[in-house]
């Protein structure tokens, strides 16, 4: 247990069924959320052939009756619809190799090297992977659900998704976002925070060194970002990672 009113990194916020002040406190920063745009390739070159990928993230709490309350980051994405390569053969839902197709990827990381990878594609597929270190994924990817809604508008696809708070590692401080599309030699890799120092010759989305600082207070109430959130619905998804530390 914590002493002196402080919680260690490996400790977990108790499972909450009640509404807390973090859920109801008025906060303009949370209401506005955080907007960003992918405007460059993974190595810092201008995008070729299409405009930026727009991302808007903001906190959402919803009181639920007879089930755990909803605490999520709502994300809206507007991206060009390239429709290359052909979509996965699976019906809309979890696709464990979505990174080989057209998709947008969101990475949330902390200073301990833990990070969450969220991928969504224009045909209704998604993938959520939890990592306890560089490429050290400890979940199978076929068991974490997302609420995803896609809409095609002309030459764009618009995606709305909700990322449960319990999916994120505690103390999130860093973020990066990527867009992937195209096939073979025409495969394109685009990034919010690019590698511009020439240290890499090919994209590595898991290299936290090139992530940007995230103003987390704009998307998560401060009290909920201090440690892993143990949700009544999802439990402690990070138990394996925190028990190793």
Alpha-carbon distance of 210 to 130, in angstroms, equals 19
Domain assignment present for 12: no
Domain assignment present for 39: yes
Q: What is the CATH number of the domain that holds 158?
A: 2.60.40
Domain assignment present for 31: yes
Q: What total number of domains does the chain contain? A: 1
Domain assignment present for 2: no
Alpha-carbon distance of 33 to 219, in angstroms, equals 6
Domain assignment present for 179: yes
Alpha-carbon distance of 56 to 73, in angstroms, equals 10
Neighbours of 97 (CB within 10 A): 12
Asked whether the beta carbons of 172 and 9 are under 8 A apart, the reply is no
Alpha-carbon distance of 181 to 49, in angstroms, equals 12
Neighbours of 101 (CB within 10 A): 20
Neighbours of 62 (CB within 10 A): 10
Tens-binned pLDDT, residue by residue, of the chain (245 aa): 333 444 444 444 445 567 887 887 778 889 899 999 999 999 999 998 899 999 999 999 998 888 889 999 999 999 999 999 999 988 999 999 999 999 999 999 999 999 999 999 999 999 999 999 999 999 999 999 999 999 999 999 999 999 999 999 999 999 999 999 999 999 999 999 999 888 899 999 999 999 999 999 999 998 999 999 988 888 899 998 888 65
**Which class for 83: exposed (0-12), middle (13-18), buried (19 or more C-beta within 10 A)?**
middle
Domain assignment present for 3: no
Domain assignment present for 5: no
Domain assignment present for 83: yes
Parent domain of 220: 21-243
Sheet containing 34-38: which strands, arranged edge to edge? 34-38, 53-62, 70-80, 156-164, 147-153
């Amino acid at each position: 247990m914590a002493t002196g009113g402080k919680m260690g990194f490996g400790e977990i916020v108790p499972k909450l069924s009640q509404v807390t002040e973090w859920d109801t406190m008025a906060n303009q920063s949370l209401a506005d959320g955080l907007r960003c745009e992918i405007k460059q390739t993974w190595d810092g070159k201008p995008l070729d052939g299409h405009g930026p990928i727009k991302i808007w993230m903001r906190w959402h709490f919803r009181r639920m009756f007879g089930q755990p309350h909803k605490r999520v980051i709502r994300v809206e994405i507007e991206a060009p619809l390239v429709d290359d390569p052909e979509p996965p053969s699976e019906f809309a839902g979890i696709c464990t190799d979505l990174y080989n197709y057209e998709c947008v990827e969101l990475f949330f990381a902390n200073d301990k090297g833990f990070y969450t990878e969220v991928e969504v594609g224009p045909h209704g597929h998604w993938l959520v992977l939890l990592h306890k270190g560089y490429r050290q994924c400890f979940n199978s990817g076929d068991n974490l659900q997302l609420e995803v809604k896609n809409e095609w508008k002309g030459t764009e696809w618009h995606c709305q998704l909700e990322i449960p708070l319990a999916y994120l590692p505690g103390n999130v401080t860093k973020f990066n976002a990527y867009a992937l599309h195209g096939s073979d030699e025409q495969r394109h890799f685009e990034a919010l925070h690019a590698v511009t120092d020439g240290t890499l010759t090919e994209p590595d989305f898991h290299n936290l060194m090139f992530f940007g600082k995230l103003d987390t207070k704009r998307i998560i109430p401060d009290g909920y970002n201090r440690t892993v959130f143990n949700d009544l619905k999802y439990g402690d998804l990070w138990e394996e990672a925190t028990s190793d530390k």
